Amino acid sequence: MYIRATGNISPQKTFGHQPLVDAVAYTGNRLACIEPDYKEFIDPKLIRRMSRIIRMGVAAAMECLQEADIKVPDAIVTGTAYGCLEDTNSFLSKMVEFNEELLTPTAFIQSTHNTIGAQIGLMLQCNNYNNAFVHRGFSFESALLDGILLLKENDASNVLVGAIDEITNTSHTIINRLGLYKQGEVSNLDVYKTKTKGTIAGEGAAFFLLAAEPSATNYAKLDGLHTFYKPDNIAEVEKQIVSFLNRHSVSMNDIDLIFTGKNGDAVSDKIYDDLAETVFENKETVNYKHLCGEYPTAASFAMWLAAISIKTGQLPAIFDSASNKKINKVLIYNHYLSIHHSLTLLSAC
């Protein structure tokens, strides 16, 4: 199956299909999405009920559909770990504030994890298959797998698949307290040099139009997807990677580029460092989380990067790569909190 179109709102200037040239620098442990003028994509009457994450998700989905020139997809599948946190926070806060009485309906209605997929369906008047996956660090991969299965089983000829997660003031405070983020002064551009515990918070909304048939405008071919949970040790991670490639009749020599989910956390990055000395040895590996931050569906940002790299045949200028070798085959390896591990294989059409 093929990635025909994309739409991406992230802490970088990714919206609008502009070339990704300069990295946006952030100071502190939180990256925030750069949002477009939503009025071009969403009816102002609808915008007023949408919180930030809903706007981001809907706008990224609309950009993707516009690029694909598809008005109504055969299916809409979304993945999110946190859901619409701002609305959830608003709803729960009002429950406390008004002693569980006088609750306003909008925040409650919009707080569910399937809100964004549902909003897209409502806006498009699309009554086709619509599903949302909430599986922590596997949320995006689960949505992607569902999209793949729909296409493979001929239940759809095109599927809109997306991942959406936001960081709010409340969730940032709570996760910060749990020790997941770096403390003190930190720049996203230097995050891999810190060698300290913790990472930087991120968020994003990335959508892909997957199609069963090839077309001249496709970005890339989606060859494979695999997830594995809590591997016992690094040897098992290596075994999973090798076995995944073998299943797709690909050797490591065929891979032109590997996107790895390194996030600057000295503890969890050890897995990537170990792999760099074994299965990834002598391969060109690229980190991406200094651009989008860490969040449970960050692998969607990597898939977007992989798709645009394959389409143009080279890494975006933002990576300042010295290699002139045309990129035909890309492997994405990501793990979230060393628990949820995923492998995605893409190639040129």
Chain residues binding other proteins by CB under 8 A are: 44-45, 47-49, 98, 102-106, 109
Q: Which is nearer to other proteins, 35 or 213 (CB)?
A: 35
Residue pair 42/62 in contact (Cβ under 8 Å)? The answer is yes
For the chain, the 3-state helix, strand and coil shares in percent, each to the nearest 5, are 35, 20, 40
- CB closer to other proteins, 102 vs 322: 102
Minimum separation from the CB atom of position 169 to other proteins (A): 19
Q: Which C-beta is closer to other proteins: that of 55 or that of 262? A: 55
Alpha carbons 75 and 117: distance in angstroms, whole number: 10
Please state, in angstroms and rounded to a whole number, the distance separating the CA atoms of residues 333 and 204. 18
* Of residues 106 and 128, the one with the C-beta less far from other proteins: 106
Shortest approach of other proteins to residue 101 CB, angstroms? 8
Q: How far is the CB of 105 from other proteins (least distance, A)?
A: 4
In whole angstroms, how close is the CB of 104 to other proteins at the nearest point? 5
Provide the minimum distance between the beta carbon of 45 and other proteins in the complex, in angstroms, as a whole number: 6
| For other proteins, the closer CB: 43 or 273 | 43
Please give the Cα distance from 86 to 121 (Å, whole number): 21
User: What is the C-alpha to C-alpha distance for residues 167 and 121, in angstroms, rounded to an integer?
Assistant: 24
Q: Sheet containing 329-336: give its strands across.
A: 129-133, 75-79, 158-165, 204-211, 2-9, 220-229, 340-347, 329-336, 257-260, 285-287
